[in-house]
Structure 1
């Protein structure tokens, strides 16, 4: 048996329309509203592979992370599966997710800094090529293959092209960045098409019994929430970023497909979560699952609430020594909020988490999917209900007060190449 879990970094739900995806949708279980539990790579993938929310698996930061949670490849290995991971991106290899696989390969053959591809980037065609060769070598065995493509994770650098990047102003925010941007949406579509073609090739070359395709988070596009600017809870412009520092639908909503004989042919519009992947897959395989925060979707009983967070390096003084990082690196995001949110199929409450929870935005996403009208003051009872649930869920979570270690210059350079700083 061959099982493939493909995670397409930055995959938005509204660009999941390649012919390959359409075929998977028509013959499997397609969920168009899968909510990720974190807005950036490492904590989101840890939730995806563990079935746990970040406050239970412990991964809240992008790099040099560690979790004690039992992950999917470990469970499948105990059941006799060979397990292998292939990634084209930088963050996952810096933590201990790779240690849970029999083999884990970080493909890094290219450097094209002017197109946003630093030497930490491996394109999807090489990942698929490695996966095909590995599966050929293990033909007739039980195999689990994890593929993490990084092709859509383009940065502002890709938009600047061969031009010089804009200067920082006195607040360390890009100055007149609007005149430099404009390629992102086109490049994103091109890369999305490219990744889909590679996954299509994989499925044409290999007999795959179960396919799971999803994303770890989305990405912001022109016309959405002040793109590319980021605003703090007081409405001040504090940076420019296309991913990872907000909890709007374009960031935390991704598609999810389960394809194979074990899954019914259906399209589901109710929300599900990344943490539901592990219990659903294990249920289909009739394997006892460890206790998780997720639930199997094969029962047809979908979760009422979904939790997401973004502690983007704890870029607030209460959560990280970013004032020291700012003095050293001059990137100027001291006042960027850490955020948590709770979402139902109807409502979403977003809170700042800068040492304590503070409600800041409430959206009726069923009627206002673009999240254009903040109803926090208009619907105090709903806001209080969601806020109380969030407080109960987080309990004594100390992440809001954590001071993380200072990163090295080499790490900063890598993060800049990937668009995190």
Structure 2
């Protein structure tokens, strides 16, 4: 049996127009609203591979992360599966998720500084390695995890060179409009490319069960002030289109399961990244310990989804980040840390710069673009969701903590990728 879990970094639900990805939606169970538990790579993937929220698996930051939680490949290894991961980008390889895999390859065959992906492995190389590995283990039980980095662009890279673009008197990038259009076009071109590579994988190898999803989305022109970020007081504090906000364009990704265990259906109600592990293990008839997620196999759906981004708080006490902020006035130290709780009708967003403070409430059933903050008009609902949020996170004290300092090399990696 061959099982594949493909995570496409920055994948939005509207990026599934390739022939293969669009076809997968009709072959199995397609959920168009899967809510990730963090909008950046390492904590989101840890939730994806453990079935746990960040306050339980312990990964809250991008680099040098560590979790003691049991991972999906560890469970499958105990069941006799061969396990392999082929990773296309940074910073996922900086933690200890590799410990659950027999084979773990971080592929860096392309040096792509102009589009902000640094040294990364393009989808065709990852798929080629997966095909060869599966051929080597033909006739055995195999699990392959693929992390595609092809869609991970940064705004700065759109200026065609590593030097920072010039700012005008209002601290706005000069001539930014022409580059915004190019970023959007390149995003969908790469989504099409990844889809073609996954199609090749399924043509050349018999895959019994496939899961396709993303670790977070990506903000696009016209959405929440793209590319600008605003703090809870309405001040513009920097430019970024991933990792630092909890709007649906960042935390909503598609999720597809195909295989004999999955019926053909399209579900518009929300599910979560933490539901992948219990659902897949149930489909494979593998017993497992309880996790934060639930199995979707029999139609049960979660009422609430939790998401967090401690990007702002974790850089606030970092001396190197302070220095960069002084040099370039990017405003990263003023970014809010945020937590949210979401249902199919409402989403509450709270700042987490210490004590939680409710700041935004959206009726996403009627306002899916999250244009109208109605926290003042719907205080009863805000209080109800705030109480639910507090009960969910319990005594988690991350909102009072800060990250360790990073060295100059790591800072450069994060900066080039658009994280700081």
**Aligned-residue offset at 1:14:** 1.5
Q: Is the 8 A contact 1:34 1:254 kept in 2?
A: yes
Q: Is the 8 A contact 2:244 2:311 kept in 1?
A: yes
Q: Is the 8 A contact 2:89 2:117 kept in 1?
A: no
Equivalent position of 1:54 in the other structure:
54
Give me the whole-angstrom Cα distance separating, in 2, the residues matched to 1:83 and 1:118: 27
| SS of corresponding position for 1:204 | helix
| SS of corresponding position for 2:300 | coil
| TM score, norm. by length of structure 2 | 0.96
**Aligned-residue offset at 1:16:** 1.6
**Aligned-residue offset at 1:313:** 5.5
Out of 160-169 and 363-372, give the one that drifted further.
160-169
Give me the whole-angstrom Cα distance separating, in 1, the residues matched to 2:132 and 2:172: 44
Is 1:145 matched with 2:144?
yes
Alignment of structure 1 residues 364-375 onto 2, 5 Å: 364-375=363-374
**Aligned-residue offset at 1:163:** 8.5
**Aligned-residue offset at 1:322:** 3.7
What root-mean-square deviation, in Å, do the aligned CA atoms of Structure 1 and Structure 2 show? 1.7
**Aligned-residue offset at 1:169:** 7.8
5+ unaligned residues in a row in structure 1: which ranges?
Answer: none
Equivalent position of 1:217 in the other structure:
216
Q: Is the 8 A contact 1:28 1:263 kept in 2?
A: yes
5+ unaligned residues in a row in structure 2: which ranges?
Answer: none
Residue by residue over 1:133-165, the C-alpha shift from the partner in whole angstroms, topping out at 9 and shown as x without a partner, is 000000000000000000000111331124953
Give me the whole-angstrom Cα distance separating, in 2, the residues matched to 1:23 and 1:175: 40
Residue by residue over 1:240-297, the C-alpha shift from the partner in whole angstroms, topping out at 9 and shown as x without a partner, is 0011100001000000000001111111111000000000011111111112000000
Equivalent position of 1:12 in the other structure:
12
| SS of corresponding position for 1:114 | coil
Give me the whole-angstrom Cα distance separating, in 2, the residues matched to 1:290 and 1:174: 51
Residue by residue over 1:78-106, the C-alpha shift from the partner in whole angstroms, topping out at 9 and shown as x without a partner, is 00000000011011110000111111000
Equivalent position of 1:355 in the other structure:
354
Give me the whole-angstrom Cα distance separating, in 1, the residues matched to 2:253 and 2:20: 17
Alignment of structure 1 residues 19-418 onto 2, 5 Å: 19-119=19-119, 121-162=120-161, 165-167=164-166, 175-176=173-174, 178-179=176-177, 181-182=179-180, 183-312=182-311, 314-315=313-314, 320-322=316-318, 325-327=321-323, 330=327, 331-418=330-417
Distance 1:400 1:180, change over 3 A: farther
| TM score, norm. by length of structure 1 | 0.95
Give me the whole-angstrom Cα distance separating, in 2, the residues matched to 1:124 and 1:104: 16
Residue by residue over 1:39-68, the C-alpha shift from the partner in whole angstroms, topping out at 9 and shown as x without a partner, is 100000000000000000000000100000
Residue by residue over 1:115-142, the C-alpha shift from the partner in whole angstroms, topping out at 9 and shown as x without a partner, is 22312x1101100000000000000000
